[in-house]
Structure 1
């Protein structure tokens, strides 16, 4: 924690008080939450960014879409459009935001929508003739105007919410007590070798009677361009440029970096200007550029087409995946009448 963040502690106390009052008003029904007659799973966190929401949403899509009509609804952070948009053939990252556009490209069998007003977005999805059986709300743990049927709280292994403080002293959007609204907690970005003893210590530290699961980031063994792929083992020892505009890029860089690689980091959800793309092309020369999947959908351009690759990731559970899947399937199955 920097000295400036420590100095801002009184503001953190005030911010925590305001968010606590807001939550109290919703908990007591003074402020109204709207429920819908469809299974809704909200995935989110208590902290700002970097907990792995995108791969967790993708995990749920893979689990549910073979059996149900799935829709995702996101705010569409930093998109250039307004209001409700349902992705179609004309969609792009500018209109949807990078994460929703990534879902749209990877999972053509689902519906992908964006709307900052989640209540309106859900209403619009359910007003369609081909309405979804289940809706996944991306980054909606604090969006209390909608009452989801099932809440999944994510917290990173190296930055647990129970060890954090309110903004701006720490990174919490609301107090730690907000975790009590969760139906399930996932500790993300764990070492894939985390022991049962270490898992139990974290459960005790969190101290909540909730199902708690542990997941890790599983990197693909290939990197992909718009036209071909290369094996990770092949490119690891090549001199290349590694580029990321995500909240916590260090694990991505560490996984791929060779001694002479150039590493370039941008802020989370960075929109690349034409000048930046031209400069990147000039820096790269003939070397390949490897970026994250989220950045690829924002960065893909004709000038980089032959040398720009991305590394996909997946969220995998350290253990008890069958139990996790069954909890989700049971909730959705009851809500849909198993249709």
Structure 2
């Protein structure tokens, strides 16, 4: 197992402080036409709520309202489709699009230079959209950001985080940097550490899970029972906290396969909370219990080792405080 204690760079480590809340004050609006308002009477998610209230509009039309900043929850613009709603809140829908927006939705830039952009992504924000999906994504927001300097600027995908996984991820700012980093990914990336909130008491304090991952016709990953039948995947874990109900693990990827941690936690018999697709039966924090906590890599131009670390989400830790009381 690799050593997780990467040396901090001279002159100060990159230890990020993600934004305290994904809610950000919305841009100024033209209020010549009063917005339509709908009270929330039961717990649900924003897109589901809008589909019910705006029964004459299609899903894509409602997603367009969200992406253009026309939907507010308690007077704050909200663009994330799965933003949780609680009774007593007011959802407002404006006919006018937001006039301008200098802030990001669901992400924060931790570091940017001529070659890479490192971000903190909130749970609920899609990293990259599919071809047929016009949803707001990290990729689209960062593309708009780099084009403020030059209309031809682009960003390039280096890796992904699942929609409901929060944490650190990065993009390249040129195709050359993308290819250089991806072609030597194993040596370029020094550390990718996650924290996972899983169901049940994990009795073994640490361990390694190895399997061969494949994807079925329903696009669900699974561990093949046959050696060398699929993509080799290796995951290391260590227990940080545990009760009879939940365990908090630090998880290090030796390989980076699609849904690797989620499949391996299911294989371990302790699926990630909120992960119904891979066997979870509970949703105590109203999101997937997976967070990309640390990313360390060798800079493609300077050769310097850069390390970004974020705190464990408070919602993960709160499950243990509740049990201790």
Fold match (TM-score > 0.5): no
Question: Of Structure 1 and Structure 2, which has the larger fraction of its residues in strand?
Answer: 2
* TM-score normalised over the length of structure 1: 0.27
Name which structure has the greater RCO, CA cutoff 8 Å, separation 6+. Answer: 1
